[in-house]
Amino acid sequence: MILHELISYDILRLIWWALLGVILIGFALTDGFDLGVGTMMPFVARNDMERRIVINTVGPVWEGNQVWLILAGGAIFAAWPPLYAVSFSGFYLAMFAILFALILRPVGFKYRSKLEDTRWRSAWDWALFIGGFVPALIFGVAIGNVLQGVPFRFDPDLRVYYEGTFFGLLNPYAILCGLVSVTMLVTHGATWLALKTDGNIAQRARNYGAVAALLTIVLFALAGWLLEPMGYRITSTVEPLGPSNPLLKTAMAEHGAWLSSYDIRPWIWIGPALGFIGALGAAILLKTRGEVSALLCSSLSIFGIISTVGLSMFPFILPSSIDPHSSLTVWDTSSSHMTLFIMLVVTVIFLPIILAYTSYVYHVLWGKVDQKMIDPGDHSY
């Protein structure tokens, strides 16, 4: 037996669908609190020293956290080539806006404290706010559009055509999903600040974070309620072992298809349940000073909210609103059997190493950041 046939093609496709979700959740859990801290900084820090303390809570780890975004892009490129082609071409301007905002972060971190000038530092403070708020918003907007369906199609030669516009992405439901993303990550950033700081900064973070957590619950519930008419369904025979050609199936938009998934697979209710429970727990624990537990609850909420999207849409990955037959699913979008197997072997070897090293870094950097650590003569930001 050939080695890669030890795991069948359909199982490998499922594994990589799950791994893609794990990578996206990993990005939200790590770089997510960076984005949340950047978004909150103008509000939780009232003077220059407080802003430096806030920046230095994420300064040593933000670069490592952002690697998860690069990993997500690489995984999509290698494991799901059609998904990469459609999303990175159709969402080109949105991706450019995200990259521009993310580029502002390292520049802001490095240059903010180079000059002792109020206007100079204030400008970079707002750059860091943009670098946190804009990606958090646009990532959520992208998810909102995915749930509704994206205007693309394939021709018979599998050339992809995107027929939407950047401003078409900014529809009301997508913006609502963007606000869910912002409040979710602001909550996560607040729990991080509550854990890493004390005094006035920590107290403001607790107050803002509790409000953000409650807003997350309300907006997430509203997004779920408005999801009721949306959805897509495969109308032909499902071929889990079939070739990666989206046009070999037939599909259609169907009212309520996403929510009907919960009748077919009741166990997926665990996704939204964790989203609500985690956010509520974070709100309560932020007010009662349960710092570590609040961070864990915020992480649980992120896990639940992101997994809700994937579980509701399965087996769809990216539905097409103008030609449902071109929709991308788990069964017709992946790389070859051999490619997925080799990638899985590499992942099994190296992902535990990365996780172990990341855990060690956080262990070494454990503890609160205060004014005593911000010495003008050292390497702090």
Q: What percentage of the chain reaches a pLDDT higher than 70? A: 97
What pairing do the DSSP bridges indicate for beta strands 316-318 and 251-253? unpaired
Classify residue 375: in a domain, yes or no: no
Classify residue 101: in a domain, yes or no: yes
Classify residue 65: in a domain, yes or no: yes
Q: What is the arithmetic mean of pLDDT over 175-180?
A: 96
Question: What's the rounded Cα separation, in Å, for the pair 187 and 193?
Answer: 10
pLDDT on residue 234: 94
Spatial CB neighbours of 210, under 8 Å, sequence gap ≥ 6? 190, 282, 283, 286, 287
Classify residue 376: in a domain, yes or no: no
What pairing do the DSSP bridges indicate for beta strands 328-329 and 316-318? antiparallel
pLDDT on residue 378: 56
Is the pTM higher than 0.85?
yes
How many separate domains does the chain show?
1
Examine the pLDDT at 379 and tell me if it is beyond 70.
no
3-state DSSP call for residue 162?
A: strand
pLDDT on residue 25: 93
pLDDT on residue 373: 74
| Average pLDDT of the chain, as a whole number | 90
Question: What's the rounded Cα separation, in Å, for the pair 315 and 87?
Answer: 17
Classify residue 313: in a domain, yes or no: yes
Residue among 98, 256, 75 nearest 166 (CA): 98
pLDDT on residue 376: 57
3-state DSSP call for residue 36?
A: helix
Q: How confident is the model at residue 380 (pLDDT cuts 50, 70, 90)?
A: low
Asked which of 66-70, 294-298, 339-343 is least confident by mean pLDDT, the reply is 66-70
Q: What is the arithmetic mean of pLDDT over 167-195?
A: 94
Examine the pLDDT at 224 and tell me if it is beyond 80.
yes
Supply the range of the domain harboring residue 139. 3-363
Q: What is the arithmetic mean of pLDDT over 322-327?
A: 94
Q: How confident is the model at residue 46 (pLDDT cuts 50, 70, 90)?
A: confident
Q: How confident is the model at residue 268 (pLDDT cuts 50, 70, 90)?
A: very high
3-state DSSP call for residue 97?
A: helix
Biggest CA pair distance of the chain: 69
Classify residue 84: in a domain, yes or no: yes
Tokens representing 103 are 């580029």
Classify residue 374: in a domain, yes or no: no
DSSP for 243-265?
Answer: -S-GGGS-EEE-TTHHHHHHHH-
pLDDT on residue 94: 86
Question: What's the rounded Cα separation, in Å, for the pair 41 and 43?
Answer: 5
Classify residue 139: in a domain, yes or no: yes
Model pLDDT for residues 107-121, shown as the tens digit of each residue: 888 888 888 888 888
